[in-house]
Structure 1
Amino acid sequence: MRATLMTAMIRTGAKQCCPYAACSSSRSVAYYSKSAIDTNSNYDLVVIGGGSGGLACSKEAADQGARVAVLDWVAPTPHGQSWGLGGTCVNVGCIPKKLMHQAALVGNHLADAAAYGWQLPKDHHVPHDWNTLKNAVQDTIKASNWVYRVQLNSKKVDYFNALGSFLDSNTIKVTDKKSEKTITAKYVVLSTGLRPTYPNIPGAELGLTSDDLFSLKKSPGRTLVVGGSYVGLECAGFLKGLGLPVDLMIRSIPLRGFDQQCANLITDHMSGEGMNILWRCSPLEVVEAGNDQKKVTWLSDDGKKESQVYDTVLWAIGRQPRLQPLNLQAANVQLNQKNGKVIVDDEERSSNPSVFAIGDIAQGRPELTPVAISTGQLLARRLFAKSSRLMNYDMIPTTVFTPLEYGCVGLSEEAALKKFGEDECEVYHAFYGPYEYTIPHRSSEQCYTKIIALRDDPKTVIGIHFVGPNAGEVTQGFAAAMTCNITIDQLQSTVAIHPTSAEEIIKLRITKRSGLDPRAVGCCG
């Protein structure tokens, strides 16, 4: 831990400062942030929200010579969890999720080790310790919190661990634990992100969300995960991979908005690995069951009520903005009445010309960390560097870090057929066997890749989907090609790297239209 933080100090140029200070020392908080609100009140830019998008925007604006302040206040969860600078991704999202996903993958590798000649205990049982993993994850998060404070300090960005709310279009009331003051700004950027939704059922408060999961002081034990979103599938996946008994409840379809063939391959794989999936079920009630356990009652689509006792209930049924404390009506900022997000134009501008919104709270924007970062940087350059470049929201890649990963960029098959018509699209596809699966005889039944291209010249590729190991690493490179409007002929004429899983995309020749069998036939097929 000390080595990690010291490396971060060197890379960020921090000097004469205790590396653990931001995690525990009140002295460091005063050094890196404004513990009392006592600065000059006039700013070129005030960013409300200290997540990935807000930090990127604030640092870029400071680099362009603007006087910038960042306000970040995290309301505790119903179970009392809160966190430091960095937003959802760093503290309770992408980073801890990926680390726990990796921990589960390591468990899979241990299971494969004997087949590769490694001498394991005779029963091949290697126990997992939740607290060791949880502490390592939390140490990593705290290091990131500290680094972000150092970066803001080095760029002379004023950081307030405080709640910001509008008094008028350019005046913001800033409230921290000790004091209250007003500041003014030429521009304001909203980047407060989303928080998990609780169901409207009796006893919902007895359940947790992903905001609580990564800092639990003891193992979740037997867990019910409710929700078919990527959060639900990912959390259920790594908990099962850590050796915990997990039930996954999905009310309708998995991964709504993603390619459904690929989504169903993921849930098929999870079922094949022993995950109990409760399809088309909805929770009705949660009650205390003694010994810190919870009894959950649910309704299946055939009208039958069932119940089970769990150690942990995890809600993953969606996320929503929490913008009421910002008093946006005082700044005449209009919201989408259906989902509560800020309505923005192509320049991320709200109904108030001096107030902008980026990231997950902006209406119609992909809810992805790299999107928020790029959007924030481009916005800062438009405001302070005379740039005119807008964020391109087409061809945004993403990956679902389920036990069998799923990466994609461009349109799903359903969306492509709806937009262009079946006669105008060609779907190339194949199942394949990753080479690392061969010796331990792991099932590759759900490993699959798909390309969707237009049939008319130049046969532009409009969607790539990859289900298998290292899907994120595979998809990233093809996403770059997609932004250059790569054609199917160009893709198929690319020389493959052998033996890799990524080459399976290059090798695709079979179309769904042909009716030929897409199953793997050999390493050189």
Structure 2
Amino acid sequence: MSDFDYDLFVIGGGSGGVRAARVAAGDAGAKVALAEADRYGGTCVIRGCGPKKLMVFASEYAEVVEDARNYGWSLQEGPFDWTGFHARLSDELDRLEGVYRKLLKNSGVDAYDARARLKDEHTVELSTGETFTAKHILLATGGRPVRPEIPNAHLGLVSDDLFHLEELPKRILIVGGGYIACEFACILHGLGVEVTQFYRGAQVLRGFDEEARGLIADAMTERGIDLHLGTDIVEMRCATDEDLEGHPQSAISMSGTIREDSEEPAENREGPIWVKATNGDAAVFDLVFFATGRRPNTDDMGLEELGVKLGRKGEVLVDEYSQTAVPSIYAIGDVTDRMNLTPVAIREGMAFVETVFKGNPTPVDHEMVPSAVFTQPEFGTVGLSEEDARDQEPIEVYSTSFRPMQTAFAGRSDRVLMKLVVSRETRKVLGCHIVAPNAGEMIQLAGIAMKMGATKEDFDRTVAVHPTMSEEIVTMRNPTRHG
């Protein structure tokens, strides 16, 4: 009989934690418990990928009517009904959370709706006052969005808040240039919101392929997003009546709607926000949304006191097997800040179970992981950017940009990008970058070939599917440039 209450105690009910818990219990026969302080499903299911992708779908219908007319259909435009959509979205999130709870229950995992912290290397203490011992503890607490350290930053929203708006604003300022900022800029613009975006860097989507970044930024600007590069907030505060002159639009707060005829004193409103930028311009917005970074959820968990080492951002430091400096404690997912993608967290959870409960030491594989940025157009990427590959070895670049048939016929000026980065020595495809509608769907399949070690000649030998956008990936014969 075990000296512990559980073989495994998982802290965090997101995708990685739930997968690890139910596989350890269901497949490996371990006695498992899991604690979650919020909703089951974590960032991805409740306040990230899932609801965001549904919002992406909703926003893309904005161009359907005009395109359909150019294809001979007689359709009428209508206003977007945020209230109706939001109700359906909430129902879907409730359904998905129920699925996660059911998966745990059916696998025999004991679930606790409570916040957990570590009392010692084998003991978990819950906010309910209960304590449990476990042979192994798995940290899967994820991360959270943070506001910048500027005066009145509390007036701005973060990504978690956007899914709870009772109404859409008329004007919004998005601060940031990463994938979350750019995705929501496209989403909200598609839903009819007037979007301004500040980013202090020289180009959005830092860390991604430079050519792809430029095309996406141009597309966002052409669609009507007011993008300001090299720009940040200097000052922000609640707008005064003087600030509001010339800005008759309603002001939306997180807690509801404050109309311009509200009797509430202006200084007490959390509605219109006056913002001054580094370029000297000042403007009033209904909402300010900060997409300026995330932090791992490691606060007040008793980790460092036990000897668990944390990094500069508070991330849990682990080895290739997801083990911390304390042998009985492991960590996976965003709390480790290795590669913050849901499928990666799930793979890390599976590797943990293989290593700890199935006697099959399995290091985590973070090589050639495909990912997508759901801007408009989408960006699918796998492998090295041109810049990173050039720093590593001599390369050839095969790249083409063109107007796709469907939108060109409809009169839109949209452009797509297909790009391969190839090793001159081994001929292996080191990077594939696609900017196009449904690029996320395409990059998944390219990722399979690249994971198998496909060369440029393997791509060349593949017959094209015509007429498609993706055929360009296998028809680029001559390098665009060398590096």
| TM-score normalised by structure 1 residue count | 0.84
Q: Distance in 2 between matches of 1:461 and 1:44?
A: 43
Contact 1:241 1:403 in 2 (8 A): no
2:444 is the counterpart of 1:476 = yes
Superposition deviation, residue 292 in structure 1: 4.7
- Of residues 24, 48, 51 in structure 1, which corresponds to 2:11? 48
Q: Distance in 1 between matches of 2:174 and 2:287?
A: 8
- Of residues 426, 429, 446 in structure 2, which corresponds to 1:461? 429
Structure 2 regions of 5+ residues with no counterpart? 240-265
- Of residues 395, 412, 428 in structure 1, which corresponds to 2:368? 395
Residue-by-residue CA offset, 1:201-245 (whole Å, 9 max, x unaligned) = 111101111101012111132111100010000001100011110
- Which residues in structure 2 correspond to 1:83-482 (within 5 Å)? 84-121=39-76, 125-175=77-127, 179-252=128-201, 253-289=203-239, 290=266, 292-300=270-278, 304-336=279-311, 338-363=312-337, 365-420=338-393, 424-445=394-415, 447-456=416-425, 458-482=426-450
State the secondary structure of the residue aligned to 1:293. Answer: coil
Question: What residue identity is the alignment partner of 2:481?
Answer: R
Partner of 1:15: none
Residue-by-residue CA offset, 1:148-179 (whole Å, 9 max, x unaligned) = 1111111110111111111111011111xxx3
Q: Distance in 2 between matches of 1:473 and 1:312?
A: 33
More divergent stretch after superposition (288-297 vs 92-101): 288-297
Question: What residue identity is the alignment partner of 1:111?
Answer: E
Question: What residue identity is the alignment partner of 1:248?
Answer: Q
Question: What residue identity is the alignment partner of 2:437?
Answer: P
Residue-by-residue CA offset, 1:359-382 (whole Å, 9 max, x unaligned) = 11114x111000001110121121
Q: Distance in 2 between matches of 1:296 and 1:280?
A: 20
Q: Distance in 1 between matches of 2:482 and 2:354?
A: 49
Q: Distance in 2 between matches of 1:513 and 1:504?
A: 17
RMSD over aligned Cα, in angstroms?
A: 1.6
Q: Distance in 1 between matches of 2:84 and 2:405?
A: 32
Q: Distance in 2 between matches of 1:280 and 1:132?
A: 38
Aligned pair count? 451
Contact 2:173 2:195 in 1 (8 A): yes
| TM-score normalised by structure 2 residue count | 0.91
Superposition deviation, residue 505 in structure 1: 0.9
Q: Distance in 1 between matches of 2:274 and 2:477?
A: 48
Q: Distance in 2 between matches of 1:507 and 1:296?
A: 52
Superposition deviation, residue 504 in structure 1: 1.6
Question: What residue identity is the alignment partner of 2:82?
Answer: W
Superposition deviation, residue 275 in structure 1: 0.8
State the secondary structure of the residue aligned to 2:288. Answer: strand
Superposition deviation, residue 322 in structure 1: 2.8
